[in-house]
Amino acid sequence: MSTKSDNANQGPPADREAERWVLGSVLLKPASLDEIGFLQPVDFFHDDLRQLYAAVVEARRKGEPIDEALLRRQFAGDDWAARIAEIAMSVPVAGHVHHYARIVSDLANRRRLREILLMGADAAQQGDGSPADILERVETELAGIRATRDDHEPVALSSAAVDAMVRIDEISQHGKGSGLPTGLASFDEDMGGLFPGELTILAARPGVGKTSLALQIAYHNADRGRLVYFASLEMSAVELSIRQACGEGGVSNRLVRIGRLGGNDTARLSEAFNHQAAAALEIHDLASLTVASIRREIRKRKKRSLALAVVDYLQLVTPEDRRLPREQQVARMVRGLKETAREYEIPILCLCQLNRMTDADEVPRLHHLRESGAIEQDADMVLFLSTRQPTDTEPHNAILTVAKNRNGETGPLRLMWDAPRTRFSCFDPNPEFAAYAG
């Protein structure tokens, strides 16, 4: 008995007539190419028609005429003129070129979908990797189709203006912006928080406290009933739970590690752990996470009104294709996270390592982002976290610098870093409020 379905043996879906109608419409009216910019030569199934369309598109791109010399080169033999005429005369209605192109494009996507599913079926049949690995490969390929889909039409500015006015009115009625709060009062007031559809990079050197700050932001929202997904590729869920409890209970993490808790420490930790039971924070502590697997977890939780996703940290995410140069791997991962944020309309906070050039500089800069300029390019906001030696005139010991902000201002924010409690707070020169933790 065959292991493949009958559908798999029927051959790829294609429509030669529709491909001919597209070409015929273009030959009759070359300007119609501008109406079907979404259609690419690779979308054509039949070789001869694909080559002809590629030649016509290239000529249009260069501003060259689509004339006899161009068409003659695409056909061997003396019957080229008759074949061109046959294609042109086959078109039912030349003005329906967009409809014909849509048929060709849809069938091309069906073929791609078929190839992906057959690849997954063959891999499952042959035992080529674990079920989880196969699923991730299939989902990555499917995400590629979604990312390049062409069914999103341009929006008139007049329509966008109406939607913009509605959004501003909603913000005015609520008395606050649409950003997700971080718990750092000054940041939320000045920057508006973290916004849906945006990728925010939080970068620092190792040991500065970027995981602590990310956990603090995540817990600030989870504690208020907002669902947060935390992809932790470095620390376990238990370690993060202990760190959060120490910060909330005012207990030194070091004392927990060496087993020297004081009289009230155990009670404060117990109260903090009980508090965690009600928090809507879900930690995915797997060291081999890929962007595809992170996207899958986000998709599942979006149905439950996911408010925020955190990735700790970028350089530990497993690349989909290990054969690519490292910079291309990182670029693909950043682009994938950005597309995920936009697709599911949530803010994504992604942690990132800075390179060692930062050690010689007092303040990190965008060129210190490790391994890829794509991080700076695709991120909506880039935050640098750094510590400093306090002085009499500037007693704060940490700085959160907004180095890039696609939709707002940049600049530094003074913080206080409480190392024993692993917590950050906004710096206030008034000692009465110096320990405020947002």
Q: What is the pLDDT along the chain (438 residues), one digit of tens a residue?
A: 444 445 556 778 889 989 989 988 888 888 888 888 888 888 999 888 888 888 888 888 877 777 766 676 766 666 667 777 777 777 888 778 889 999 999 999 899 889 888 888 888 888 777 787 777 778 777 766 665 555 556 677 777 777 777 766 766 665 555 689 998 888 888 888 899 999 999 988 888 888 999 999 999 999 999 999 999 998 888 888 888 888 888 777 777 777 777 778 788 888 888 888 888 999 998 888 888 889 889 988 988 999 999 998 888 898 877 777 888 888 888 888 998 998 899 999 999 988 665 455 556 777 677 666 778 788 899 999 888 777 777 777 888 889 888 887 888 888 888 877 778 888 765 444 333 333
* Domain co-membership, 101 together with 213: no
Q: Please report, for the domain that includes residue 339, its CATH number.
A: 3.40.50.300
Same domain (yes/no): 204, 113: no
| Domain ranges, residue 311 | 179-433
> Within this chain, do residues 119 and 246 fall inside the same structural domain, yes or no?
no
Kindly state whether residues 44 and 124 are assigned to the same domain: yes
Residue at a domain's end among 65, 100, 128: 128
CB < 8 Å & 24+ apart, contacts of 178-183: 179/347, 180/221, 180/226, 180/307, 180/308, 180/347, 181/220, 181/221, 182/217, 182/220, 182/438, 183/216, 183/217, 183/220, 183/221, 183/437, 183/438
What sign results for the dihedral spanned by CA atoms 307, 301, 295, 117?
Answer: negative
Question: pTM for the complete prediction?
Answer: 0.67
Judge if 278 and 374 occupy the same domain: yes
Is the CB of residue 433 less than 8 Å from the CB of residue 423? no
3-state secondary structure at position 402: strand
Is residue 410 located within the same domain as residue 349? Answer: yes
122 and 198 in a single domain? The answer is no
Residues 188, 117 share a domain: no
Residue 149 located in a structural domain: no
Instruction: Give the residue from 91, 112, 128 where a domain finishes.
Output: 128
Same domain assignment for residues 254 and 380: yes
- Angstrom CA distances, 202 to 111, 182, 348, 400, stand at 40, 13, 10, 9
Which residues, other chains included, contact 286 with Cβ-Cβ below 8 Å and sequence gap of 6+? 231, 233, 293
Would 139 be classed as within a structural domain?
A: no
The CATH number of whichever domain residue 108 belongs to comes to: 1.10.860.10
Same domain for 221 and 331?
A: yes
**Tally of CB atoms within 10 A around 68:** 11
Number of domains, the chain:
2
Q: Of the candidates 92, 112, 128, which is a domain's last residue? A: 128
Asked if residue 367 belongs to a domain, the reply is yes
Contact 393/353 with Cβ under 8 angstroms?
A: no
Same domain, yes or no: 205 and 293: yes
Tell whether 161 is covered by a domain: no
The single-letter code of the amino acid at 184 is: L
Q: Measure the CA–CA gap between 314 and 350, rounded to whole angstroms.
A: 7
Inside any domain, residue 27 = yes
